[in-house]
């Protein structure tokens, strides 16, 4: 990598469509370390605006799609001249489109497109349609493009560098059973395959999973199964970057998360309170 790097972070804050969610104080500590931050699964509520106001950053919030929806927030240090681009994704047969926000920054005389995305949790075939909407939009852009977000693509199977044709069979059945898997309709390799003409997608390293906090014998387990890597960085071929995951914020606030999961042990589904992040931070360095 070159000496001059942009530090960009994507982070799912687990708002769960709640306008009452309040981000914990430690969230802002991780944002200020980055040049650009893409926040997914958030709402632009008063608590979020209060937090952003203290960061001395430019920021934009994606359109509010109403009750039971989430938004994207993109923040950048003021020196990068963050601008919002008002292009819209085209809906496919009135199916849901992903949460989406397009901004640009200027770095070293170059304009970089930043697309924040969160694929909504619909059926898996429909999630692929959401990605096709993103592809059509991204293919229309000129210059460097970086797409960051929570793609809700589930487990990665096989060699991440292989073509989809070589891994297709691995996505057909649920692990350890003969039952068909929904992953056959939407997965990491399919995303890579439909984007590959102009974009690159690599498996992010650093941690085995980017989602799935659980508690076992009072110890935090990071992920359900292996290679659950929902937070992805997709970039145009004219960009050079590296990426990795980190659960450092949970390890630095371990007791708070353990107490939370014990308190919520009887709750169905996610045991993490809304507003408390439950995904690893996706950290990207872009050479400029």
At 207 the three-state DSSP class reads coil
Tens digits of residue pLDDT in 222-281: 998 899 999 999 999 999 999 999 999 999 999 999 999 999 999 998 999 999 999 999
Domain architecture of the chain: domains with CATH: 5-287 (3.60.10.10)
* pLDDT score at 93: 62
* pLDDT score at 3: 56
* pLDDT score at 262: 96
Tell me, letter by letter, the H, E, C secondary structure of 40-96. EEECCCHHHHHHHHCCCEEEEECCCCCCCCCEEEEEEEHHHCCEEECCCCCCCCCCC
* pLDDT score at 151: 98
* pLDDT score at 2: 43
User: Distance of CA 145 to CAs 103, 186, 228, 243, Å?
Assistant: 10, 23, 25, 15
* pLDDT score at 140: 96
Q: Please choose, from the candidates 102, 91, 170, the residue with its C-alpha nearest in 3D space to the C-alpha of residue 126.
A: 91
Q: Please choose, from the candidates 157, 133, 137, 154, the residue with its C-alpha nearest in 3D space to the C-alpha of residue 145.
A: 137
* pLDDT score at 263: 96
pLDDT digits (tens), the chain, 288 positions: 445 799 999 999 999 999 999 999 999 999 999 999 999 999 999 999 999 999 999 999 999 988 889 999 999 999 999 999 998 887 766 677 999 999 999 999 999 999 999 999 999 999 999 999 999 999 999 999 999 999 999 999 999 999 999 999 999 999 989 999 999 999 999 999 999 999 999 999 999 999 999 999 999 999 988 999 999 999 999 999 999 999 999 999 999 999 999 999 999 989 999 999 999 999 999 998
């Amino acid at each position: 990598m070159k000496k001059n790097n942009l530090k960009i972070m994507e982070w799912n804050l687990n708002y769960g469509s709640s306008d009452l969610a309040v981000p914990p104080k430690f969230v802002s500590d991780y944002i200020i370390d980055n040049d650009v931050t893409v926040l997914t699964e958030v709402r632009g509520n008063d608590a979020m605006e209060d937090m952003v106001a203290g960061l001395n950053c430019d920021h934009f919030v994606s359109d509010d799609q109403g009750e039971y929806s989430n938004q994207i927030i993109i923040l950048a240090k003021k020196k990068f001249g963050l601008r919002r681009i008002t292009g819209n994704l085209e809906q496919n047969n009135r199916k849901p489109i992903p949460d989406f926000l397009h901004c640009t920054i200027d770095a070293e005389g170059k304009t970089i497109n930043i697309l924040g995305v969160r694929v909504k949790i619909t059926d898996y075939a429909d999630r692929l349609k959401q990605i096709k909407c993103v592809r059509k939009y991204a293919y229309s852009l000129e210059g460097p493009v970086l797409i960051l977000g929570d793609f809700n693509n589930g487990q990665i199977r096989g060699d991440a560098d292989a073509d989809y044709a070589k891994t297709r069979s691995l996505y057909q059945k649920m692990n350890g059973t003969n039952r068909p898997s929904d992953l056959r309709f939407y997965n990491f390799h399919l995303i890579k395959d439909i984007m590959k003409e102009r974009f690159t997608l690599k498996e992010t390293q650093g941690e085995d999973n980017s989602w799935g906090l659980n508690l076992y014998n009072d110890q935090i387990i990071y992920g359900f199964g292996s290679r659950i890597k929902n937070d992805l960085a997709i970039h145009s071929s004219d960009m050079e970057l590296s990426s990795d995951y980190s659960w450092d914020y949970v390890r630095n606030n371990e007791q708070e998360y353990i107490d939370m999961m014990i308190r919520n042990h009887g709750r169905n589904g996610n045991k993490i309170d809304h507003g408390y992040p439950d995904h690893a931070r996706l950290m990207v360095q872009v050479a400029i």
